[in-house]
A and B are shown apart, each in its own frame.
Chain A
Amino acid sequence: MPIVSLNCAAGYPQLRRHSMPLHSARRALDNSCLLLYVATMAETATPEVTPGTIQTTEEKPKSDLDPGYVVICWNDPVNYMDYVTHVFQIVFGWARKKAEFHMLQVHEQGKSILKRDSMEKAEHYVHQLQRYSLHATMERDE
């Protein structure tokens, strides 16, 4: 009988991938030019890069590069502590000790920040936690 798949790692919405990040493009340039540079260039000179030969990406806004969002679980008096611990283990793949730590934080402090991540992944985690009927939300990491 088909039963819902609980493989939480699967099914992430794929993040939009832009062309090669700036630092990778520079590294590629460094590698290919290294021998030529050593052989022909004066030590004080800087290697010339012909305009247009390297496609560098534009600097992405900080909000795209940083995780930017936090996943929060809020306390409620109805979910059992063992259940919350179990859900954290399943959704995040955490060891029991870490899951218990966050469960106790929820219980004692009213909330726990479970993850810092991109908007897409934060949405995914919130959805997973809500499937288990936990009170979870995502907020901007400010």
Chain B
Amino acid sequence: MKLIRVTKGNFLFQLGKREKQLLFQVLRLYPRIPPATFRLSKIGKLPDAEENQRLLDESLAEQREQNRKILNTFLADPRRFTDTESGIRLSVSPSELEWLLQILNDVRVGSWIILGSPEHGLEFKLLNDKTAPDFWAMEMSGQFQMRFLEALEKREV
């Protein structure tokens, strides 16, 4: 996947058919982070801690549900991906790109959690037939994430 053009209101990427399939496969894994993973406080000395934690969990769950609906619309939109002679074009706005980054990172972090949150460098000791799909999801979502981040950096320059 490579960036073809960036304007103020639009990013245009080109990708191959296989890349498009991979992107779809990765995005369809959303949401991957198990519910109630995030804590409001680590030390836990907040007033109304339980109630505030419950509100945070609810809010994140609601957002996840909303994202899932938007994602279904995104993937089903025929104008989103257009076939050309040289490949497939993907057009996204800056806010959509931000949103895609959130989705992809959920898949990446969620896969890492499913793998047991391994420390850096130790994760490949866990690689086997059973864990391979989670490794694949973690690495593939990271690859697309980096392409999108590079595109955002080009806009900044």
Query: Most B CB atoms within 10 A — which of A3, A5, A133, A136?
Result: A133
Indicate whether A140 sits within 8 Å of B45 (C-beta atoms), given known contacts A83-B149, A130-B38: yes
Residues from chain B with a CB closer than 8 A to the CB of A102 are none
Tell me whether A138 and B41 are in contact (CB under 8 A).
yes
Residues from chain B with a CB closer than 8 A to the CB of A78 are 108-109, 112, 117, 138
Flag whether B50 is at the interface (Cβ < 8 A): no
The count of chain A contact residues (Cβ–Cβ below 8 Å) is: 32
1/0 contact trace for A71-110 toward B, CB 8 Å?
A: 0101011111011001000100000100000000000000
Query: Most A CB atoms within 10 A — which of B42, B96, B118, B149?
Result: B42
A129 → B minimal CB distance (Å): 9
Residues from chain A with a CB closer than 8 A to the CB of B52 are 123
Indicate whether A139 sits within 8 Å of B102 (C-beta atoms), given known contacts A4-B67, A82-B149, A83-B149: no
1/0 contact trace for B111-129 toward A, CB 8 Å?
A: 0100001111000000000
Tell me whether A133 and B56 are in contact (CB under 8 A).
no
Measured CB to CB, the nearest residue on chain B to A136 is B38
Residues from chain B with a CB closer than 8 A to the CB of A135 are 38
Measured CB to CB, the nearest residue on chain B to A77 is B120
Flag whether B77 is at the interface (Cβ < 8 A): yes
Interface of B (DSSP majority class)? helix
Residues from chain B with a CB closer than 8 A to the CB of A72 are 42
B136 → A minimal CB distance (Å): 15
1/0 contact trace for A1-17 toward B, CB 8 Å?
A: 11111100000000000
Tell me whether A133 and B109 are in contact (CB under 8 A).
yes
Chain B residues 53 to 93 lying within 8 A of chain A, measured CB to CB, are: 56, 59-60, 63, 66-67, 70, 73-74, 77, 93
Tell me whether A83 and B101 are in contact (CB under 8 A).
yes
Give me the 10 closest cross-chain CB pairs, A-B, nearest first.
Answer: A77-B120, A78-B112, A133-B109, A137-B42, A130-B38, A133-B105, A6-B98, A3-B96, A82-B149, A139-B43
Q: Please, could you name 21 A-B residue pairs with CB atoms under 8 Å apart, sorted by A?
A: A1-B73, A2-B70, A3-B70, A4-B66, A77-B120, A78-B117, A78-B138, A79-B105, A79-B108, A83-B101, A123-B40, A123-B52, A123-B56, A131-B63, A132-B105, A133-B33, A133-B105, A135-B38, A136-B38, A139-B41, A139-B45
Binding site for A on B (CB under 8 A): 33, 38-43, 45-47, 52, 56, 59-60, 63, 66-67, 70, 73-74, 77, 93, 95-96, 98-99, 101-102, 105-106, 108-110, 112, 117-120, 138, 142, 145-146, 149, 152-153, 156
Given A4-B70, A133-B105, 19 other A-B residues pairs in contact with their CB atoms under 8 A: A1-B70, A3-B70, A6-B95, A6-B98, A76-B117, A78-B138, A80-B149, A82-B153, A86-B152, A90-B98, A123-B56, A127-B56, A130-B38, A130-B56, A130-B60, A131-B102, A132-B102, A137-B39, A138-B40
